[in-house]
């Protein structure tokens, strides 16, 4: 490659980086897309011809690279913390006051106020201005290197602009998808027949989890940078404002709504303004973040239990809007539970269009005195399913009709019954008799934590049930190639794949099998506890209430539900049929009576600092303990972390031994468990 060409490559790179910045960071493109593409293609051509010209951080790397086998783990040099929250101005003012007390100053504390972006936190490392690493938050101490994915985000410079870059620094911020981009992306996805993204936050998180960065490159991600993780070699900023100003001068995208406030009385104004603007920002926020501006003061304030004392999140109340109730439909679940769902006139609430809301149960419908045609308040908080909060009674039209509880299952027409003390109404048909229950039961049976049958999706289940090829879970294992190939959209290859997946899932484990049965109240954790306690399915099927209640975390309600399940001949037959169809599992290992904590049930409560809960749990299990979620007479020991609440109180009431996190650490160390 000659000097002229080298110079051309440098020119193209710089030009492309500049135009990317104008477009993605400043939102002020100076050239048309086609012109940009021309420059891009020219560079790409040269790089193909002269592979030595292709640097890692070339603008051409934005299109993504070959898929990774897995993400590399990265330990954060300084933990990525979470934030304390408050919801009232009073609480916010108290926080400012506490900062003053801790800093022993009666001078006003300068604060920055910023929107709290609802996206995914990431940490970017720049070495002498070059992007060299990008990590997810993970558990705060250890995340994953998602550099290949992050390089596809146009707003993130691979090479910083300007000068004066430190030797190495970590920039932290939030990657998100803007609302317009989200809508446009989903419209395109639907037009292609692809699955749309559930919501912007989920979409951002899912996109960053892709092992194939070429997929990430198709997602409209962008980023706001909001804090400095750390810096070494040549930059020691004094304030948060200085950090953000420098970030922008280096081409890092920062939020234009950041304000410096010298006076606490201005906090309310800022929050009111932000709340007013919320609908027009073009991205989802769930509140504001207030930070102490002076970085030295931040250091003095420090942090407690993974939350800094120098910052706090002010959360906006859940978002509300009104709509009109058009219809109430009744959905039948796997256990026959009948759930009313409100169909609504489409309404835009907090960035998404809502057309349905859950009504939970008939009691809720009664409480609301819901009528078809009513104008209702819809509330949506973050990711949760929208809810009908209230009815606007004086807007009720004359022809509004009350919502009546169905007397018969909308799917199989069996009677709907409601046990005296239960809120839930249920279809009285057995699972095999009601197609809705059967479908939901099968969905559960093949789900990932159950038998994990790959490729058996909702549509296929629907067909199998409608065509009566499957009347219970055991029938899945008798499906033949010939019967499958006759189904819609089922080629020979897919049929073979499905049969192979079923074959694989025949070999399972007892906990998965118990969970897969779909017994009411028996989740994954309870299934595990049951398997560990009874060792065989036969013993579980024969257990009486007393035996069942001896299992950690199994109380009277769960015990009764298990007993009732196996009292039905249909269910006993199902278990037998599944075993006859070749579903097997290895024998459950008998608890090692020698294990130090054999036979003991432990409970963890409060937050732990040295490890996360699942790690602590796994370590306890490795010592032979069973770990339960609630404290009862069966509990041997409760480990109380910071902010332990009602479980600690209960343990004290019952006189159960309580130990600290440090004592737990000591126990692990005594047993040669390295942390
Ligand atoms: S500062 C010490 N600033 O909120 C915490 N965080 O609840 C440093 N977030 O994990 C975070 N917008 O993902 C900060 N302007 C902002 C933010 C922000 C959103 C997220 C961030 C963090 C979470 C904490």
Torsion of CA 38, 43, 44, 49, to 10 degrees: 130
pLDDT at 193 (0 to 100): 62
Q: What is the mean pLDDT of the chain?
A: 89
Query: Are the CB atoms for 320 and 378 separated by under 8 Å?
Result: yes
Residue reference for tokens 């032979």: 624
| Residues 85 and 313 sit within 8 Å (Cβ to Cβ) | yes
Residues 151, 58: Cα–Cα separation, whole Å: 10
Long-range contacts, stretch 235-240, CB < 8 angstroms, 24+ apart: 235/164, 235/165, 235/166, 235/169, 237/295, 238/294, 238/295, 238/296, 239/110, 239/293, 239/294, 239/295, 240/112, 240/291, 240/292, 240/293, 240/294, 240/295, 240/298
Structure tokens at 665: 């650490």
CA dihedral (554, 556, 560, 561) in degrees, to 10, reads -50
Task: List the beta strands (DSSP E) in 157-308.
Answer: 168-177, 221-232, 259-261, 285-292, 303-304, 307-308
Domains, the chain, ordered by start: 3-63 (1.10.287.610), 84-315 (3.30.470.30), 319-402 (2.40.50.140), 435-505 (1.10.150.20), 510-580 (1.10.150.20), 601-670 (3.40.50.10190)
Of 64-68, 254-258, 388-392, 398-402, which range is least confident?
Answer: 64-68
Question: pLDDT tier at 483 (50, 70, 90 boundaries)?
Answer: very high
Which tens digits make up the pLDDT trace of 109-164? 999 999 999 999 999 999 999 999 999 998 888 999 999 999 999 999 999 998 99
How does pLDDT run across 266-318, given as a tens digit for each residue? 999 999 999 888 878 889 898 999 999 999 999 999 988 788 999 999 988 76
**pLDDT given for residue 431 in this prediction:** 85
Widest distance between CA atoms in the chain: 87
Check pocket membership of 83 for ligand 1, CB cut-off 6 A. Answer: yes
Average pLDDT over residues 617-631: 84
Closest C-alpha to ligand 1, atom 12: 116
Beta strands (DSSP E) in 3-67 are: none
Q: How far apart are CA 43 and CA 37, in angstroms?
A: 10
CB distance 177 to ligand 1 below 6 Å: no
Q: 60-74, 139-153, 378-392, 396-410: which range is least confident on average?
A: 378-392
289 lines ligand 1 (CB under 6 A): yes
SS3 readout for 289-315: EEEECEHHHHHHHCEECCEECCEEEEE
Q: Following DSSP, what letter does each residue of 589-609 receive, concatenated?
A: PPP-TTSTTTT-EEEEESB-S
Q: Tell me the per-residue pLDDT of 532-560, one tens digit each, with 9 for 90 and over.
A: 889 999 999 999 998 898 887 788 889 99
pLDDT band at 383 (very low <50, low <70, confident <90, very high): very low
Q: What is the band of 350 on the pLDDT scale with cuts at 50, 70, 90?
A: low
CA 488 – CA 461 distance, rounded (Å): 12
Q: What is the pLDDT of residues 49-80, one digit of tens each?
A: 888 877 778 888 887 777 788 889 999 999 99
Whether 604 contacts 630, CB under 8 Å: no
Sign of CA dihedral 249, 250, 254, 260: negative
Residue 116 annotated to the active site = yes
Mutate to test the pocket of ligand 1, among 116, 254, 258, 291 (most ligand atoms within 8 A of CB): 116
* Class of residue 624 by CB neighbours under 10 A (exposed 0-12, middle 13-18, buried 19+): middle
From residue 282, alpha-carbon distances to 32, 119, 276 in Å are 23, 13, 13
User: What is d(CA 530, CA 552) in angstroms, rounded to the nearest whole number?
Assistant: 9
Q: Which two tokens stand for residue 216?
A: 């990430």
* Mean pLDDT score, 480-503: 92
| Span 379-400, average pLDDT | 80
3-state secondary structure of 23: helix
Q: How far apart are CA 117 and CA 100, in angstroms?
A: 27
Residues facing residue 222 across a β-bridge: 176
* 384 has pLDDT over 60: no
> What angle is formed at CA 95 by the lines to CA 92 and CA 98, rounded to 5 degrees?
155
Residue 82 CB less than 6 A away from ligand 1: yes
Mean pLDDT (whole number) for 519-524:
87
Q: Are 552 and 634 in contact (CB under 8 A)?
A: yes
CA distances to 228, 237, 291, 381 from 240, rounded to whole Å, are: 8, 8, 8, 30
Ligand 1 pocket check for 121: Cβ under 6 Å: yes
Dihedral sign, Cα of residue 453, residue 456, residue 462, residue 464 = negative
Q: How far is the CA of 295 from the centre of ligand 1 (A)?
A: 16
pLDDT at 551: 85
Nearest CA residue ID for atom 21, ligand 1 = 121
Catalytic residue among 116, 151, 617, 647: 116
> Which residue CA neighbors atom 17 of ligand 1 most closely?
116
Q: Does ligand 1 have an atom closer than 6 angstroms to the CB of 205?
A: no
Rounded (10°) CA dihedral 365, 367, 369, 374: -70
Q: State yes or no: pLDDT of 23 exceeds 80.
A: yes
Average of per-residue pLDDT across 315-324: 83
Nearest-10 Cα torsion for 495, 496, 500, 501: -30
Report how many helices (DSSP H) and strands (DSSP E) the chain contains, helices first: 24, 26
- Give 556 Cα–ligand 1 centroid separation in angstroms: 43
Cα gap 375→580, rounded to integer Å? 55
Cβ–ligand 1 distance for 286 under 6 Å, the answer: no
Query: Ligand 1, from 82, 113, 299: best to mutate by most atoms within 8 Å of Cβ?
Result: 82
Query: Residue 119 has what DSSP assignment?
Result: S
Q: Is 530 in the pocket of ligand 1 (CB under 6 A)?
A: no
Provide the pLDDT for residue 28.
82
* CA–CA separation, 603 and 9 (whole Å): 62
Among 250-264, 426-440, 591-605, name the one with the lowest average pLDDT.
591-605
High-pLDDT (> 90) share of the chain, %: 55
pTM: 0.54
Q: Which atom of ligand 1 is nearest to the CA of 82?
A: 24
Structural element, H or E, at residue 5: helix 3-20
3-state DSSP of 420-482: CCCCCEEECCCCCCCHHHHHHHHHHHHCCCCCCCCCCCHHHHHHHHHCCCCCCHHHHHHCCHH
pLDDT at residue 479 in the model: 94
- CB neighbours of residue 199 within 10 Å: 19
**What confidence score (pLDDT) does residue 317 get?**
72
């Amino acid at each position: 490659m000659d000097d002229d060409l080298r110079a051309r490559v440098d020119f193209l790179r710089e030009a492309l980086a500049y135009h990317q910045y104008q477009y993605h960071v400043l939102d002020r493109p100076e050239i048309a897309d086609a012109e940009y593409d021309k420059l891009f293609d020219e560079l790409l051509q040269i790089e193909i011809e002269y592979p030595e010209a292709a640097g890692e951080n070339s603008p051409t790397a934005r299109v993504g690279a070959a898929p990774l086998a897995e993400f590399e783990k990265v330990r954060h040099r300084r933990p990525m913390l979470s934030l304390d929250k408050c919801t009232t101005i009073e609480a916010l003012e108290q926080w400012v006051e506490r900062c003053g007390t801790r800093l022993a100053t009666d001078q006003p504390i300068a604060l920055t106020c910023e929107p709290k972006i609802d996206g995914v936190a990431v940490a970017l490392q720049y070495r002498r201005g070059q992007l060299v690493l990008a990590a997810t938050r993970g558990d705060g101490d250890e995340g994953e290197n998602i550099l290949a994915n992050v390089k596809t985000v146009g707003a993130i410079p691979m090479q910083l602009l300007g000068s004066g870059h430190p030797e190495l620094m970590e920039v932290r911020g939030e990657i998100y998808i803007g609302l317009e981009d989200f809508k446009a992306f989903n419209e395109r996805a639907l037009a292609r027949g692809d699955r749309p993204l559930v919501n912007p936050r989920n979409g951002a998180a899912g996109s960053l989890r892709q092992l194939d960065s070429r997929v990430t490159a198709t997602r409209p991600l962008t980023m706001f940078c909001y804090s400095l993780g750390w810096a070494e070699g040549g930059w020691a900023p004094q304030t948060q404002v200085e950090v953000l100003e420098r970030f922008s001068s280096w081409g890092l995208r920062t939020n234009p709504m950041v304000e410096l406030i010298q006076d606490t009385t201005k906090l309310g104004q800022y929050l009111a303004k932000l709340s007013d603007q919320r609908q027009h920002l073009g991205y989802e926020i769930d509140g504001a973040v207030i930070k102490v501006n002076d970085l030295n003061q931040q250091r003095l304030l420090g942090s407690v239990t993974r939350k800094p004392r120098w910052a706090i999140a002010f959360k906006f109340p859940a978002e509300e809007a009104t709509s009109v109730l058009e219809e109430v439909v009744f959905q039948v679940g796997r256990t026959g539970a009948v759930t009313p769902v409100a169909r609504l006139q489409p309404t835009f609430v907090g960035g998404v269009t809502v057309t349905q809301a859950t009504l939970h149960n008939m009691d809720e419908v009664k409480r609301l005195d819901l009528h078809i045609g009513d104008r209702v308040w819809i509330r949506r908080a973050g990711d949760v399913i929208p809810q009908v909060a209230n009815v606007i009674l004086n807007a009720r039209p004359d022809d509004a009709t009350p919502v009546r509880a169905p007397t018969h299952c909308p799917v199989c027409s069996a009677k709907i019954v409601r046990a005296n003390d239960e809120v839930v109404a249920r279809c009285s048909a057995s699972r095999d008799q009601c197609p809705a229950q059967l479908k939901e039961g099968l969905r559960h049976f093949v789900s990932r934590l159950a038998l994990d049958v790959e490729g058996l999706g909702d549509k296929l289940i629907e067909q199998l049930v409608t065509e009566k090829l499957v009347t219970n879970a055991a029938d899945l294992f008798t499906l033949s190639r010939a019967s499958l190939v006759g189904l819609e959209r089922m080629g020979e290859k897919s049929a073979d794949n499905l049969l192979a997946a079923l074959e694989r899932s025949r070999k399972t484990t007892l906990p998965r099998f118990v969970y897969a049965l779909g017994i009411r109240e028996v989740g994954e954790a309870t299934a595990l506890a049951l398997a560990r306690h009874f060792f065989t399915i036969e013993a579980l099927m024969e257990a009486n209430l007393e035996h069942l209640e001896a299992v950690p975390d199994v109380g009277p309600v769960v015990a009764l539900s298990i007993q009732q399940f196996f009292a039905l001949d249909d269910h006993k037959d199902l278990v037998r049929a599944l075993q006859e169809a070749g579903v097997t599992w290895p024998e459950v290992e008998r608890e090692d009576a020698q294990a130090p904590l054999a036979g003991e049930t432990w409970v963890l409560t409060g937050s732990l600092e040295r490890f996360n809960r699942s790690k602590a749990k796994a370590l306890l299990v490795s010592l032979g303990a069973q770990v339960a979620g609630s404290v009862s007479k069966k509990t041997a020991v409760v480990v109380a972390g910071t902010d332990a609440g009602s479980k600690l109180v209960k343990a004290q009431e019952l006189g159960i031994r309580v130990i600290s996190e440090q004592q737990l650490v000591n126990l692990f160390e005594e047993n040669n468990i390295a942390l």
